[in-house]
Structure 1
Amino acid sequence: MSSSILTAVAAAICVFLVMPTLAVAPISFTETDFITFPPRGFTLRWYEEFFTRPAWIGSLGTSAIVAVLTAILATTLGTMIALGLGQLPRRVGGAVTFFFILPMVVPTIITAAALYTPFARSGLIASIPGLVLAHTVLALPFVIINVSAILQKLDHRVVDAARSLGATPAVAFRRVTLPILAPGIAAGAVFAFITSFDEVVVSLFIAGANATTLPVQMWSGIRFEISPIVAAASCLLLIVSCVLLTIFWLIQRR
């Protein structure tokens, strides 16, 4: 009975958290020129405007480019860091791991404010490289945690066996270690992409006229026009996140 009650409470909480997000979907089809709920009528006008307005489609392209580059950089660095942490003594490794996952603990606004001054001095404000580096700081913990979780289950005797059969360290890593770590690396890459694609706070500090991401464009749309096109953009973000999380689920099952 207690298990059933706990499941019901958890389900109710999930529904409560998801309902506001699901309410955005019908608003994106409203015929009115402003956000209203319940929506009035049905039209695909706002999706059409999203894909035809240069500001919106340009910000979508910027977000996609930044998210892909962030996923590549964060996955590469995070995997290397996780492998290095696995070689450290337990206490030292725990302290260093905590340092790398601080961006998950510290409020994002503090991270954004801390990054702004060095980025401004380095000329990285309002640039795609600046956004990629800033988002990588936020995405690294997800890669490190996922790869480290797989590393803890890695049977090092398999690697030793490969070495004893004549494999060089590079070949043993490529043929044995890397395939075992692949699910954690893939999961970290998915979370890194989603983290970058949805990030708004750090992007508000780093982005500019030459590098406006979709969440920043949505923030501006909410502040200045309250158009249903923002709801359409939100639905597209939700679809991207759901697709990527589905891919992550399929990777986990495999």
Structure 2
Amino acid sequence: MSRRFPLYFGFWHKLGVYAVRVYAAAVLLFLILPIFVIIPLSFNAEPFFSFTPEMLRLEPEAFSLRWYRQILDDPNWILSIENSFFIGICATIVATVLGTIAAVGLASPAMPFKRLITALLLSPMIVPLIIIAAGMFFFYTRFNLVGTYTGLIIAHAALGVPFVIVTVTATLVGFDRSLYDAGLGLGANPIRAFKDVVLPLIRPGVISGALFAFVTSFDEVVLVLFLAGPEQRTIPRQMFSGLREQINPTILAVATLLVIVSIALLFTLEFLRNRSIRLRGASVE
């Protein structure tokens, strides 16, 4: 049975370990608590953004599902939900294909100007979104893409590609390239060797990158404000409009649903991470 601390740990070492753990838990609680506060508020029977005395006394009549029902009754929310999933899924497919191809190319030792190309491909993660949105707006106006689904999908895919590149590249670090060469040596063409040999081994990284790309698209509001028309409004755009035009706890209900979706995606990413580690033959603690 393994010891909790190394033998050379004294009193101050152990105290330091516990202090770091308590500090980390406090920081995590400080960051997460404001997010989870919205969950009980979304069940408020009254149109308030604060806890009522009845809610604090846990009276049943103080809680209601009226704001969740209002989501289904409001055509603007239904449209924004449909748009968010449609644009997010389409942008994720485009970003995953392009990002995976780019990552495989960058992993090749024969790739010239690798650092420069990597920096250019990852620049959307660094450049402020307001600059990207303004540049895309003026560029898209030349091609009549402003206010179209195609324009939004391309823009969101551009933001998702760097996340796919990062995750797939991390997976390719432990990939044995001799397996790919063996596939070629056995008569498979490059596409067949990639599909049958490389892709199954890097699939966890590809799926993780796709999830990151989807979350990036699903949560994006700056590009939507610049590029979307009335028919392309997404959930973040609708929430932004609701805070400015008509404040009611429907926004909290939608935010609660988004938190649940985010938690589900985090568990999925953790599962894929553990699976990737197992595929590499490493032990998972």
Normalised by the shorter chain, which TM-score bucket? over 0.9
In the other structure, the counterpart of 2:71 is 50
Shift in alpha-carbon separation, 1:216–1:94, aligned structure 2, 3 A:
same
Question: Which of 40, 44, 48 pairs up with 1:30?
Answer: 44
Q: Quote the offset at 1:3 in angstroms.
A: 3.2
Q: Any residues of structure 2 matched to 1:128-147 within 5 Å, and which? A: 128-147=149-168
In the other structure, the counterpart of 1:20 is 34
1:104 aligns with 2:104: no
Q: What is the identity, as a one-letter code, of the residue corresponding to 2:131?
A: I
Q: Provide the C-alpha distance between the structure 1 equivalents of 2:111 and 2:93, rounded to a whole number of angstroms.
A: 28
Question: Which of 75, 85, 89 pairs up with 1:64?
Answer: 85
1:7 aligns with 2:28: no
Q: What is the identity, as a one-letter code, of the residue corresponding to 2:27?
A: I
Structure 1 residues not aligned, in runs of 5+:
none
Q: Quote the offset at 1:94 in angstroms.
A: 2.0
**3-state SS of 1:153 partner:** coil
Q: Provide the C-alpha distance between the structure 2 equivalents of 1:127 and 1:23, rounded to a whole number of angstroms.
A: 36
Shift in alpha-carbon separation, 1:84–1:91, aligned structure 2, 3 A:
closer
Q: Which has more radius of gyration?
A: 2
| Matched-pair contact (CA < 8 Å) for 2:105–2:111 | no
| Matched-pair contact (CA < 8 Å) for 1:198–1:237 | no
* Number of equivalent positions: 254
Q: Any residues of structure 2 matched to 1:1-254 within 5 Å, and which? A: 1=14, 2-37=16-51, 40=55, 41-87=62-108, 92-254=113-275
% identical equivalent positions: 40
In the other structure, the counterpart of 2:5 is none
Q: Provide the C-alpha distance between the structure 1 equivalents of 2:19 and 2:135, rounded to a whole number of angstroms.
A: 44
More off after superposition, 123-132 vs 228-237: 123-132
What is the RMSD of the two structures over their aligned residues, measured on CA atoms?
1.7
Shift in alpha-carbon separation, 1:178–1:231, aligned structure 2, 3 A:
same
Q: Provide the C-alpha distance between the structure 2 equivalents of 1:224 and 1:34, rounded to a whole number of angstroms.
A: 15
Q: Quote the offset at 1:88 in angstroms.
A: 5.3
Structure 2 residues not aligned, in runs of 5+:
1-13, 56-61, 276-285
Shift in alpha-carbon separation, 1:88–1:164, aligned structure 2, 3 A:
closer
Shift in alpha-carbon separation, 1:251–1:38, aligned structure 2, 3 A:
farther
Give TM-score scaled by structure 1 length.
0.94
| Matched-pair contact (CA < 8 Å) for 1:146–1:187 | yes
Give TM-score scaled by structure 2 length.
0.84
**3-state SS of 2:248 partner:** coil
Q: Quote the offset at 1:91 in angstroms.
A: 8.2
Q: Provide the C-alpha distance between the structure 2 equivalents of 1:3 and 1:138, rounded to a whole number of angstroms.
A: 39
| Matched-pair contact (CA < 8 Å) for 1:24–1:231 | yes
